[in-house]
Amino acid sequence: MRSKKRFSLSNCLIMIFMLVFALYVIYPLVLMAITSLKSNMEIIKSPMALPTKIVLSGFKKIFSDANFFVYLKNSVLVTGAALLLSISFSITLSYVLARYKGKWVNRLYFFFLVGMIIPIRLGVLFLNDMLNTLGLLDSLWGLILIYTAMSIPFSMFILTGFIKMLPREMDEAAFIDGCSTMQFIVSVIIPLLKSAIATVAIYNFMPIWNDVYFPLVFIFNNAKKTFMLHITMFFGQYQTDWNLVFSALTFATMVSLIFYVFGSRNLVKGLTAGALKG
């Protein structure tokens, strides 16, 4: 009885902690959405209160902007291409690190792991020279390569751990049947890594989609701006349209939430469910 009481009490404490933490995370998002429905005067006078009158002028200005879909397309292209390249490279890299043994494997693993420790922004001068040499300065592909390199260390770290959990008997059975390494990765490994890939994609999506630093440094042409970089133009030196700013931030956050909803479907699925069935 005592153990059951302790167990139930610990569960209640955990649930209370998770509830408080959830409110702590959700509250700024709700406040941002509410603020986007206020007028500038009401935002200044009562920033924490509910809107007395719903104002949608900020959203109308965003969607009526002639360059809105250009900036949105640039952000979607950069984020999607960077995620696709980083996940594709990380899956192959992680399979090699998980299945092969040797000193060079451990050294390669720690080499990529260092990328999680050292911030990529420390090398901004080197990146500027490299992109200039490659002719990718003021190019979306330059941003894509930077974000790809930035996402690989964490992706490799997560995917390597998942692949190590897969039994090696699957590899042997596939190779005996005449399956090549690449065919095995595409046909067997990737379907079993759906939960890990979803985790990696969601984790890397946020810093890429919300990043302003690298587009601000490496993008000069207005037609190549990302959506988040475009939002920074709403801040004036003497006056700021806060309704417009919060409306744009709310829209950008909604895109992130939609991506999370679609990606989270595979987060709770079993890693090897049915892999060895039959």
Domain boundaries, the chain: 66-233
Question: Residue 135, SS3?
Answer: coil
Amino acid at position 172, single letter? E
Residue 277 has pLDDT above 50, yes or no: no
The DSSP call for residue 162 is H
CA triple 122-212-259, angle to 5 deg: 115
- Residues shown for the chain: 278
Beta strands in the chain (DSSP E): none
Those residues whose C-beta lies under 8 Å from the C-beta of residue 259, and which sit 6 or more positions away, are 202, 205, 209
- pLDDT one-digit tens code per residue, 6-32: 557 778 888 899 899 989 989 988 999
What is the rounded CA–CA span in Å between residue 81 and residue 148?
8
Q: What's residue 270's pLDDT?
A: 39
The DSSP call for residue 276 is T
What is the rounded CA–CA span in Å between residue 233 and residue 253?
18
The DSSP call for residue 50 is P
Residue 273 has pLDDT above 70, yes or no: no
Average pLDDT, the chain: 85
- pLDDT one-digit tens code per residue, 56-96: 888 988 888 888 999 999 999 999 999 999 999 999 999 99
CB 91 within 8 A of CB 190: yes
Q: Please give the model's pTM, rounded to 2 decimal places.
A: 0.84
CA triple 93-80-252, angle to 5 deg: 130
Grade residue 268 by pLDDT with cuts at 50, 70 and 90: low
Does CATH place domain 66-233 in 2.60.40.10? no
252 by Cβ neighbours in 10 Å (0-12 / 13-18 / 19+) ranks as middle
| Mean pLDDT value across residues 29-48 | 88
Question: Residue 220, SS3?
Answer: coil
Q: What's residue 117's pLDDT?
A: 86
CB 99 within 8 A of CB 163: yes
In 3D space, the residue among 271, 258, 253 whose CA is nearest the CA of residue 28 turns out to be: 253
